[in-house]
Amino acid sequence: MNAMGVTDSGHLSALDGRLLRRAIQLSASAAAKGNMAFGALLGDPEGNILLEAENTTFTERNPLNHAETNLVNMAVASLDPELIAAATLYTSCEPCAMCSGAMYWGGINRTVYAMSEHDLLDITGVSDHCPTMRGVGCRAILNSGQRHIEVSGPHLVEEACAVQLDYFAARSPESS
C-alpha cells in the first residue's frame, strides 16, 4: 500500500462490469439532458453505488463540469474520506487531465473506465465543441502522484462509443 504510482488491471470483473455499464447509461442520460455524453459513479468495494454524476457543462454553463469532477465534488462534500479512499470511480470515458487531478486530490484510489481518451479523440476529431486532449491519458497524471492508484480500462468500448456516436450524429446530421 505504500507503493506509489499506477497499477494497471486489465481484467473486468462482473462487479466492475455492472457498475461500468451503469456509468455508460449515465452518459446517455447526460446527452438526453443536453449535456456532453459522459457519466460517472462512485462504487464501494461491495458494488454498492455511493454517488452518481453526469456531465453538466451546458446546463450549468461551466466547462469544468465534467462527470468525474462533478462526482468528486459531490463525494468530498458528502462522504467520509475513508469511504472515498476505498471506493472506485467508474466512468464512461477515461478521465481527462482535469478529472484525473480531481480524482487524485479528492482521495480516490481506483478507477475503471470504458472508452479511452484516444477512442474519444477518434470520434470528436478536432472540435471546438469537444476539444479532446491528445493522448495525455489518466495514467500519466495519476502516475505522478504520491499514492498507489489502480487503473483499469479501456473496457466495454463499443458500448461507450455507441453513446458518443449517437450524440455527435444527433448534433451534426451533416457529418453523419
Nearer to Zn ion, 57 or 152 (CB): 57
Instruction: Provide the total of helices (H) and of strands (E) in the chain, helices listed first.
Output: 7, 6
- Would you count residue 99 as binding Zn ion (CB under 5 A)? yes
User: CB–CB of 64/70 below 8 Å?
Assistant: no
28 binds Zn ion (CB under 5 A): no
- Distance (Å, whole) CA 132 – CA 126: 8
Is 96 an interacting residue with respect to Zn ion (CB under 5 A)?
A: yes
Cell of 131: 476539444
Q: Which stretch binds Zn ion (CB under 5 A): 43-51, 63-71, 74-82, 130-138?
A: 63-71
Q: Which is nearer to Zn ion, 86 or 133 (CB)?
A: 133
Residue 120 touches Zn ion, criterion: CB under 5 A: no
Cα separation, 66 vs 98, in Å, equals 9
Buried b (16+ CB within 10 A) or exposed e, 92-129: bbbbbebbbbbbbebbbbbbbbbbbbebbbebbeeeee
CB of 173 to Zn ion, least distance (A): 27
Closest to 4 (Cα-Cα) out of 144, 152, 153, 151: 144
Query: Is 159 labeled as catalytic in the residue annotation?
Result: no
Q: Are 121 and 130 in contact (CB under 8 A)?
A: no
Residue 130 contacts Zn ion per CB under 5 A: no
Catalytic residue among 54, 68, 94, 117: 68
Give the nearer residue to Zn ion in terms of CB position, either 28 or 96: 96
Q: Does 40 bind Zn ion (CB under 5 A)?
A: no
Query: Closer to Zn ion at the Cβ: 15 or 136?
Result: 136
State the catalytic residues.
68
**Using CB under 5 A as the criterion, which residues of the chain lie in contact with Zn ion when the complex forms?**
66, 96, 98-99
